Amino acid sequence: YLVELTKLQDSAPPVAFEEIQKALVAELNQPIEEVFAQFDPVPLAAASIGQAHAATLWDGTEVVVKIRRPGAVEQVNEALAILKELAATASRHCDFADRYDLSGLVEEFSQTLRSELDYIREGHNAEKFAANFAEDPLIHVPRVFWAATTARVLTLERIRGIKINDLKGLDEQGTDRRWLAHYATNVVLNMV
């Protein structure tokens, strides 16, 4: 399951740049060239809900621009309707589904997933996270650039690093993975 869920993060086929460009112009109400000094048409990553592109603001700041995929909301709603129906069917026919309130879990999952479709909410959550961990010098949350952010477009400060699941990269950098696991666990517990 973990491997399959990981694929949802950054293994979707990219959306053609022409569609991304149309979405950006519609959302930002101006040509891309007026907002960004440079915008890479090749995505850094493409996920099930959106894709990310490297860009540079006119002041030289490197950013990552996350654009929601056209049709993502409809696809998510369709998938959630199927999940809801499956949970209801399971609850009628299986004791375990009713005992664990499978329908309630699907509803909570639905709310969380729908909130991920709203990049303004995601931007505010990033700022809240940054404020909550402002005292921790080891945590850096990318800055949100609100002038280039809408419900469908999120523009964040670009941070370069190694994914936590890139074990080879972490080892090459000399990261103590046991320490990192302990530290990340404490961060999660602090969030809770």
Tens digit of pLDDT at every position of the chain (192 positions): 456 555 555 567 899 999 999 999 999 999 999 999 999 999 999 887 889 999 999 999 999 999 998 888 887 888 888 888 888 888 888 877 667 888 888 888 888 877 778 999 999 999 999 999 999 999 999 999 999 999 999 999 999 999 888 999 999 999 999 999 999 999 999 888
Task: Tell me which H or E stretch contains 92.
Answer: helix 72-93
Which residues are registered as beta bridge partners of 38?
56
Please give the pLDDT value at position 39: 97
Residue 111 is predicted with a pLDDT of 83
Are the C-beta atoms of residues 142 and 158 closer than 8 Å to each other? yes
Cα–Cα distances in Å, from 107 out to 5, 132, 150?
Answer: 19, 28, 26
**pTM of the predicted structure, to 2 decimals:** 0.80
Please enumerate in sequence order all residues whose Cβ is within 8 A of that of 103, keeping only pairs 6 or more positions apart, or say none.
Answer: 84, 87, 88, 91, 97
Three-state DSSP class for 61? Answer: coil
